[in-house]
Chains A and B, each alone.
Chain A
Amino acid sequence: MVEINTIKNKLKRDELFLKQKTAKAKAKRDRRTALKNEEASNPEKKEKRLAENVPNTLENTREFDETMVEEDEEVAADEATDEFAQYFQNGMTPKILITTSKGPSASVYEFATELVDIFPNSHFVKRRPQFEMRHIVEFSKNRDFTDVMIINEDKKEPNALTLIHLPDGPTAHFKLSSIALSKEIEGHGRTSSHKPELILNNFNTRLGHTIGRMFTALFPHVPEFQGRQVATLHNQRDFIFFRRHRYMFKNAKRVNLQELGPRFTLKLKWLQKGTFDRKGEHEWMFKPEMETSRRKFFL
């Protein structure tokens, strides 16, 4: 077989190349028709082929992580007595205080309004500049709040969210991005005051478990199903996507989803033991040097 690209005559080379191309295409076509015919008679084979044909993605080629939580007595015992045990074991109802950084701008208030709408039993409190975070934590503890949420802003846009679980921490700090308020979402529905259901996806490592439990502890235990509202926190490649929907039953089989909004994306920057302290001990902290591979994830 002559290698076509070594032929010096352009006409000859073109001719041969075209021939080769059509031959290849025909072979492919033949192969696919043969497969189609075969699978038409034998549908199981098609199913098998489709099941096996899984493309490689960053998620399914994820680097091995030893902190993945599977059925593990020790981790279960750890989680049974951790800071969220009050919520999970004793069925404590969450009560959330939402506030902002000092001197907030209009967009932060808008976002805070949306957050108040999302979390049942949450209260917005205007931030007074004379109160530091540690004061707010103390006040909230005295008033039986279970969580404090603080929206930070940069260039008049919300850019970070700090979540403090009370009374003993932990504190998580997220980068906040891709915010779409309800009114910006086309065809969005109106929210009702029902307690929503909660869907948490892919919080699989030990750190992810902690973060997942932290989010779970923001919502009341038993949702009100007649509201048909679902809040979703979906983790993909360490980005946590928040979406809220209502499902609408068309008939006994079909269900439609209507988005309620808002949408926003969180990315964990650090997790601190205890309530917020600038000099506190960080249980986990993101550093750029940890990004050794595109296939390494922490949540």
Chain B
Amino acid sequence: MSSRRFYTADEQGLIKVVTVTELPPVKAKRYNRTRDTPESPKKPEATIETWGTPDRERAIQLMCWDNQKKHLVVARKNGSVQLIDPKDGSVTLEFKQTLVKVEKIETAFVGLFANSESIITCTNTGVVSIHSIKDASATPTTFNVGKDICRMRVHPRDHHIIATGGKEQELTIWDLNALTSEVSKEDAKKPRTGKSAKGKSPSSITPQNNSKDSSSSNGSARYKSKEILDKGQIFKAKNVKNDNLDLRVPVWNVDFQFLSTYDHTRIAVGTRNHQIRVYDTKTARRPAVDAEVGTMPVIALATGKDASEIVFSDTVTNVYSVDTLTGSIIGQYKGFTGVTTALATFLPFEDSDATHLVTVSMDRFMRIHEMDKTRKLLHKVYLKQRLTAVVVGEFTPYEGSNEDDEEDGADRVKRGNNNGGDDGMNDDDIWNSMGKLGPKSKKRKVSKE
């Protein structure tokens, strides 16, 4: 049986490793009508392994893979960021970031990313910091991207491209290389001033395609931007036009996703004001698609199997699929009783056409749905805590396929034998059943008796 691991994180700071086992796909067989159809084999229960001890102060706010899927990166409420070995849950690297309370609002992590060289974090106060993994003692490079940030995401391939957005913060794409070089220049000029004059050795995130990418992305915009972009900014969105009463539409970007892993031109955004927007950074600063979905704020967003579909959750426990070309709702996933806090899509096995959706929610369940037309609930695992993050882990393919073939073969032989042996019996049965059918014959039987 093939199995897949999922890592979930929760409010108590625990990481749970859920191994969901899939039964081998059973071909539909024809069964003899006179015999009972065999019951479908019972779904094997998911195994759950728990790492850590419950502590609300160490609640996990964000969790993700590093880009080579060697370590889990975890950002906690108390400010600690950890690299965790996905095999046994041991912490390989930990550093602490001080999160201070600003005007009654607690600082929280809103963005997390790691590659082999560095970890990028972002807090809701807008502090993006780049920590070097190799040189853990080095002070991180930090810079500010504005207050009330709701989400920071790093492009999955170009790790120096990050996008931020939030409450009254338009979607902005930054080039980290430009930012870090700026910081280092500042450093060189006046080493003791400036909020972020710490980057001694600004680690270039991806040096090999640095210059080429930034130049192409800067030069490729076809529209003429009246607003001059700040240093390091590649793109800054513009608010949509005023509404029919000529009132300004409030901005509150909650979550977004890069739609393509190859370039960073198309970005889907979900807003607190229940809109789904798709920005095309090459063509315009205003969204290419702007659609109202539902009536309640978007909580989380995930890309579907390709760029044409995204999945989002709202505050009243709904999860919908949305077409990114039109912005219309394609379908809804059922079975949720609490708000879905994190979503992820994955291929159930390699080279599969189907995509599955894994969600964790406040009702303490992890659920797996099919993403094709039926949107069926496949698995539901109770994990005892209000969950905050989910990461799709390794896939263990179906082992010992030869054995199975043998079994199958044996089965077939058995069935053949059975059929042969039971032939006489079956005939009798048929005759008996035929005798009872006609009303006339019934009457005759009665009279005889």
User: Which residues of A does B touch, CB under 8 Å?
Assistant: 2-3, 6, 66-67, 72, 74-75, 77-78, 81, 206-207, 273, 279-285, 287, 289-290, 298
Pairwise interchain contact B382-A283, C-beta atoms closer than 8 A: no
- Report chain B residues within 8 Å CB of A72: 384
- Which residues of chain B (339-375) have a CB below 8 Å from chain A? 339, 341, 362-364
**B-side contacts of A287, CB under 8 Å:** 317, 337
Q: In the bound complex, how far is the Cα of B296 from the Cα of A196, in angstroms?
A: 41
Rounded to whole Å, the gap between the CB of B81 and the closest CB of chain A is 22
- Is there an interface contact between B384 and A78, defined as CB atoms closer than 8 Å? yes
Can you show 24 pairs from A to B with CB atoms below 8 A apart? Answer: A2-B446, A66-B382, A67-B382, A74-B385, A77-B54, A78-B384, A78-B385, A206-B364, A206-B384, A273-B339, A273-B362, A281-B341, A282-B315, A282-B317, A282-B338, A283-B363, A283-B386, A284-B337, A284-B338, A284-B363, A285-B316, A287-B317, A289-B334, A290-B337
How far apart are A165's CB and chain B's nearest CB, in angstroms?
Answer: 16
Contact at B363–A279, with CB atoms within 8 Å?
A: no
* Residues of B participating in the A interface, judged by any CB pair closer than 8 Å: 12, 14, 50, 54, 56, 272, 296-297, 299, 315-317, 334, 337-339, 341, 362-364, 382, 384-386, 446, 449
Contacting residue for B339 out of A78, A207, A283, A298, CB 8 A? A283
Nearest A-chain residue to B443, judged by Cβ: A6
Residues A279 and B317 in contact in the complex (CB < 8 Å), given A284-B337, A285-B337, A290-B337: no
| B446 engages A6 (CB within 8 Å) | yes
CB B50 to nearest CB in A, in angstroms, measures 7
With contacts A3-B446, A78-B384 taken as known, whether A283 is within 8 angstroms of B362 at the C-beta atoms is yes
Residues of B within 8 Å of A284, CB to CB, are 337-338, 362-363
- Residues of A contacting B449 in the complex (Cβ-Cβ under 8 angstroms): 2
With a cutoff of 8 Å between Cβ atoms, the chain B residues found around residue A81 in the complex are 12, 54, 56
> Looking at B299, B337, B341, which has the most chain A CB atoms within 10 Å of its CB?
B337
Partner of A279, one of B54, B297, B362: B297
Contact B338 A74 (CB under 8 A): no
Distance between B6 CB and nearest chain A CB, rounded to angstroms:
17
User: Quick one: closest B residue to A206, CB to CB?
Assistant: B364
Known: A77-B54, A285-B317. 15 other contacts (CB 8 A): A74-B12, A74-B14, A74-B50, A78-B12, A78-B54, A78-B384, A81-B12, A206-B384, A273-B386, A280-B315, A284-B337, A284-B338, A284-B362, A285-B316, A298-B337
Could you tell me the distance between the alpha carbons of A75 and B334 in the complex, rounded to whole angstroms? 27
Q: How far in angstroms is the closest Cβ of chain A from B320?
A: 14
Distance of A75 Cα from B12 Cα, bound (Å): 10
Q: Which residue of B lies closest to A68 (CB)?
A: B382
Q: Measured between alpha carbons, how far is A285 from B361 in the docked complex, in Å?
A: 12
**Complex contacts, A2 vs chain B, CB 8 Å:** 446, 449
Give the residues in chain A near B384, CB-CB below 8 Å.
72, 74-75, 78, 206
Assess the A285–B338 pair: CB atoms within 8 A: yes
With A2-B446, A287-B317, A290-B337: A281-B385 Cβ-Cβ less than 8 Å = no
Q: Which residues of A contact B54 (CB under 8 A)?
A: 74, 77-78, 81
Nearest-neighbor residue (CB-CB) of B317 within chain A: A285
Within the complex, which residue of A6, A74, A207, A279 is in contact with B315, where a contact is CB–CB below 8 Å? Answer: A279
Of all chain B residues, the one with the shortest Cβ separation from A271 is B338
Tell me, in angstroms, the Cα distance from A77 to B57 when the chains sit together: 13
* C-alpha spacing A271/B327, complex, angstroms: 30
Chain B min CB distance to A167 (Å): 12
Chain B CB within 10 Å, residue with most, of A75, A281, A285? A281
B316 and A282 form a contact (CB under 8 A): yes
Among B14, B50, B56, B341, chain A packs the most CB atoms within 10 A around the CB of B56
The complex places the Cα of A273 from the Cα of B363 at a distance, in Å, of 11
Does A281 contact B364, Cβ atoms closer than 8 Å?
no
A72-B50 Cα distance, complex, nearest whole Å:
14
Q: Which residues of B sit under 8 angstroms from A280, Cβ to Cβ?
A: 315
* Cβ contacts under 8 Å, A282 to chain B: 315-317, 338-339, 362
Q: Is the CB of A279 within 8 A of B337?
A: no
The 10 lowest CB-CB distance pairs between A and B, nearest first, are A77-B54, A66-B382, A281-B339, A283-B362, A81-B56, A285-B317, A279-B297, A74-B384, A283-B338, A281-B315
C-alpha gap A294/B173 in the complex (Å): 52
B12:A77 contact, CB within 8 angstroms: yes
Contacts A72-B384, A81-B56, A289-B334 hold; do A281 and B446 have CB atoms under 8 A apart? no
- Of all chain A residues, which has the CB nearest B11? A78
Q: Within the complex, what minimum Cβ distance (angstroms) separates A280 from chain B?
A: 6
For residue B50, which residues in chain A have a CB less than 8 angstroms away from its CB? 74
Q: Which residue of B lies closest to A292 (CB)?
A: B335
**B369 nearest CB across to chain A (Å):** 15
Contact (Cβ within 8 A) B382 A279:
no
A227-B338 Cα distance, complex, nearest whole Å? 41
A74, closest chain B residue (CB): B384
B429 to chain A, nearest CB (A): 23
The reply to whether A67 and B364 form a contact with Cβ atoms under 8 Å apart is: yes
Chain B contacts of A283 at CB under 8 A? 338-339, 362-363, 386
Most buried by B among A273, A285, A287: A285
Report the minimum CB–CB distance from B314 to chain A (whole Å): 10
**Residue in chain A with minimal CB distance to B334:** A289
> Least Cβ distance of B165 to chain A in Å?
18
